[in-house]
Structure 1
Amino acid sequence: MLKKSAVIGFGSTMIGIGVNGFILPFHLINGGMFGISLLFNYLWHFSIGLTFVFLNIPVYLLAYKSDYNYFFYGLIGAFFSGFMIELLMPLKDVFDLPIISSVIIGGLIIGIGVGTMLRNHISPGGMDLLALLLAKWTKINVGIIAYAIDTVIIMSSLLILQEPRLLYSLLIVSIVGLLATAITSWNHFEK
């Protein structure tokens, strides 16, 4: 339990730093449920927070029925990730970097946080929880599944909103997905 708490604290802090310090200043879209919530807000002016909560309900119900530990640690991981994003909001005005540098650094920091959590079977949010469950059932690396889901979300947003800046979001999820895949595959390299 102590190790899981440390992983949640570290991963959530990294996500909060990456999102606030490097991604939010350029109004980019993340993958996952947050990305879908932003898309719904842009299209129909739905509340981002309420949409995020409602979209997560089916995934958490599925996790509750399938694997209680994934459900429990996913709930804690999502709560602390959301808390750290809110707590570290002042970082959005700290760094003054070009967009490409900010995207790369933010993607690396978020990728380390997400990858560390996923490696320890902890989800920082609903889509990552779904990716953990799918990885358990299919034996496909969780980082690859999360990357595929996030890519579909970003590409759909790009097609629907026709906002070229969202291509930077694709770079973010690519970096996060590659790092998460590498971190969750680490034990394969040790053998």
Structure 2
Amino acid sequence: MYFLKKGFALIFGSILLSLGVNLFLVPHEILDGGTVGIGLILNYIWDLNTGLIIIILSIPIFIFAWFHNRNYFYNNLHGMLISSFLIDFLKPVGGLLEVEAIYSSILGGILVGSGIGLMLKFHTSTGGTDFIAQFLCDKTGINVGIYILIIDAFVIICGGLLLTSETFLLSILTILFVGITTSYITR
């Protein structure tokens, strides 16, 4: 039964994450943090596939996981592949909703945070920096959402150098809602 719940969390969490990115963040060029945020930066600048970038950026992290904790490797590989695939697969839904930028950043943050939180609750994730946050949480006992917030803030600051001040501020709002939602779900 746990396996079925975990599979559901993996798929549903990946769908929530992908919808949050494509419906709310991409139309206003808002960033998320972590590998998704880096993938979005490269998407906005060079029109590269966000999901493919996430996979490429996750390779060193998965190599680390292979040598240090194979359980993490196996639990997160599926989440990273499915969520990355769905981010690129659901890219066409990006123009379906007309939502003001500030509400998009909030709703996108809630959906992304819900997807990440749901996956983390069942010890799986999108890999990337979510995996690092989960690993640190297990080692220190500090809530995974706090680690995600710190890592995401770093990505937003770096991305802010390439974006407008409006996009930068909306991205900060987004990662706040991602962190809060993730923390709430993973309690």
Q: Same fold (TM over 0.5)?
A: yes
Contact between 2:22 and 2:90, CA under 8 Å: does it hold in 1?
yes
Structure 1 match to 2:64: 62
Q: How does 1:23-172 map to 2 (within 5 A)?
A: 23-39=25-41, 52-158=54-160, 160-161=161-162, 163-164=164-165, 165-172=167-174
State the number of aligned residues.
183
Q: Kindly tell me: are residues 51 and 90 of structure 1, through their superposed partners in 2, closer, same or farther at Cα, counting changes over 3 Å?
A: closer
Structure 2 match to 1:18: 20
Calculate the TM-score normalised by the size of structure 1: 0.86
Q: Which moved more, 1:64-73 or 1:74-83?
A: 64-73
Whose radius of gyration is greater, 1 or 2? 1
Contact between 2:49 and 2:88, CA under 8 Å: does it hold in 1?
no
Calculate the TM-score normalised by the size of structure 2: 0.88
For structure 2, the 5+ residue unaligned runs are: none
- Letter of the aligned partner of 2:35 in structure 1? M
Contact between 1:70 and 1:123, CA under 8 Å: does it hold in 2?
no
Q: For 1:175, which of 155, 173, 177 is the aligned residue?
A: 177
Q: Deviations over 1:34-87 (max 9, x none)?
A: 3234446778x6956665444322211121222222211211001111122122
Give the whole-Å Cα distance in 2 for the aligned partners of 1:180 and 1:2.
22
Q: Kindly tell me: are residues 72 and 92 of structure 1, through their superposed partners in 2, closer, same or farther at Cα, counting changes over 3 Å?
A: same
Q: Kindly tell me: are residues 65 and 126 of structure 1, through their superposed partners in 2, closer, same or farther at Cα, counting changes over 3 Å?
A: same
- Letter of the aligned partner of 1:75 in structure 2? L
Task: Give the match's secondary structure for 1:121.
Answer: coil
For structure 1, the 5+ residue unaligned runs are: 186-191
- Letter of the aligned partner of 1:69 in structure 2? N
Contact between 2:55 and 2:80, CA under 8 Å: does it hold in 1?
no
Q: Once the 2 structures are TM-superposed, how far is the Cα of residue 125 of structure 1 from its aligned partner?
A: 3.0
Over the aligned positions, Cα root-mean-square deviation in angstroms equals 2.1
Give the whole-Å Cα distance in 2 for the aligned partners of 1:117 and 1:100.
26
Contact between 1:22 and 1:106, CA under 8 Å: does it hold in 2?
yes
Give the whole-Å Cα distance in 1 for the aligned partners of 2:43 and 2:111.
26
Give the whole-Å Cα distance in 2 for the aligned partners of 1:105 and 1:40.
22
Seq. identity, %: 37
